[in-house]
Structure 1
Amino acid sequence: MSITINEIPVKRVDKSRLPEVDFDNLAFGSVFTDHMFRCTYREGRWQQAEVVPYGPLTLDPASKIFHYGQSVFEGMKAYRDSDGKAWLFRPEENQRRLNISASRMAIPELPDGLFMEGLKALLEVDRDWIPGQSGSSLYIRPFIFASGTGFHASPADAFTFIIACAPSGSYFSGKVSVKIEEAYSRAADGGTGFAKAGGNYAGQFYPTQLAARDGFQQVIWTDDHRHEYIEEAGAMNIFVRIGDTLMTAPTSDRILDGITRKSILQLAESEGIPVEVRKIRVAEVVEASKNGSLREMFGAGTAAVVSPISSFGYRDELFELPEPEDSYAAHFKKRITDIQYNRAEDPFGWRYPLG
């Protein structure tokens, strides 16, 4: 299936809700644009793609998404610069990762062009929904789910691919306190941890609720074998700075190949910052905190870009982190957002123009 933006029919809303939106007070992911992109898979192929008014879906109660959780998604953003031009950030990486996730969940991969042309068609229609306020952006959620029916435990024979968007204000979570988890695991070897599958995130909610009761905002996940190595922070990749060396866990069956993560690693390499991509022992982080060499920990992901960690709890002890003047977290957040908002040169070719 090959498709171009001009081949995608558009059914516009009768009246836009845009004038009703207060762009100065937007909660994350709570207000949605006028339209969405939709394409269905049936009879062994992806069918006609279209842009339609955003609205509820009608699904059979036997749809397999409800029973076997066959779904994958992505998270990305569109940005507007000071001249009003609109940009995406590394969208081809989202397209690539969505297909990797789909393959792992026995979902048909999207053919070349369907993701990007559908995205461009939707953003052409809802272009005015991309906020111009400083720090704001248009959050974009592509997702695929099993819409085929049946109670038998097998892959569905029909799927629905949708791209929906939500304008969001400046995302700042502040510094967070996290708990190093030893009882629950986010993922296991041979499992689906590397895929952006909905069930991966549902399984995180309960342990995170337990951590919240103890005063923590997030959980640092450890390996499923002996809980010996740190792997991710909440729904984000995690970075640790000991001395001047920046460290992060290698991607694996259990760890998501984060786009912000790989951007930080490439920036660090280009600036000569010492980087180690290796397994990081919990004991090593605890010891570094005790001897004063642990300088920073932070999460990295699409929503917040970088989320600094102020303290971590481990076995009934709380370890406070310092606030370095030469913060890597602050530096990389500025470098990435300056590229995203077209405030700086883009030597890596990450910025993608929207028309």
Structure 2
Amino acid sequence: MKLGFIVNPIAGMGGKVGLKGTDGEEVLKKAIELGAFPEAPEKAKKALEILIPIKDQIQMLTGPGSMGGEEAIELGFKPNIVGEAKERYNQEDTEIVAAEMACHGADLILFAGGDGTARNLFNVIGDKVPVIGIPAGVKIHSGVYANHPRSAGEVALKYLQGEEMEIKEMEVMDIDEEAFRQGQVTAKLYGYMKVPFEPELVQNQKSGGIVGEEAAIDGITDKIIEQMEEDILYIIGSGTSTRPIMEKLGLPNTLLGIDLVKNRKLVASDVNEKDILKHLEDNKAKIIVTVIGGQGYIFGRGNQQLSGEVVKRVGRENIIIIASKQKLMSLEGRPLLVDTGDDEVNSMFNGYMKVRTSYTEEAIHMLKGL
């Protein structure tokens, strides 16, 4: 079997620094100025480590340098490099490498990135070659991604070993990053790619809100505000379920960012990881997060500013999860997911936690650290 392995080395760099994506040279430059560093290569290695037992039984095609070659060689693989080595790689390089892999007969392409990377692959290979994505970007609305880097490796391992697997056509979605930064989510379906599907390992496409949730969210909001303690810093997560908290407090809200509130006053808006850590030096804090409908993530998708270090300093006991019953029901019994990039922090969440579902009710729901 031939495996294509591609890493988008800049994927996700805009997350922790609050830029909500890394599409475009100017955004990348700003991310670097704010102290962002590549995380996709490490996530890609977590997936590739799963394949080490069969590294001598497969042929690997990979991109040059930080596009996959460095990671593969470091783990003991002997890949064939496709594409031209450069100091910095861009979207065109991803498409060139993916196209060459398809021409060389790759049976599966394992790639690390976000929705933009999935679009790049779709542009050149469509549904000709099965793929599985290693989640490493800020925006991960598409259904072509595994729920964790190791899960991507497990899917690839099963497929390359010839296990019988359902091949599903999964959505390639992306949003307008510039509109996203202005608080508008405009998602577009670009097409479908073939994915070896394991329901416990591959994430669902993100679902939108359900009509009828407004009353529940209104009640949740009232309870959260009623229970706010004095001199505690509240870290308000992103999303439409947390927005009413800010609105009822009469405070400006960053719909797709993180805001800080203390004593019912805005302390800082649209903060990045560094900002949050600085405020945590002098404050006891609580984090209020909601659930991504259809997927179940509370950390690691669209709120990378709430990094493993932030979550660890705040503490599991100070995490407040809010979601309507309808949103929990949309998960069909699946656990809520935590993917901070820190295995130790993720494991803290294995087990059950309370979820505020209305003014008067809480649900007990299973959580799983990935």
TM-score by length of 1: 0.28
Structure number with the bigger relative contact order (C-alpha 8 A, sep ≥ 6) is 1
Q: Give the number of the structure whose residues are more often helix, by fraction.
A: 2
TM-score by length of 2: 0.27
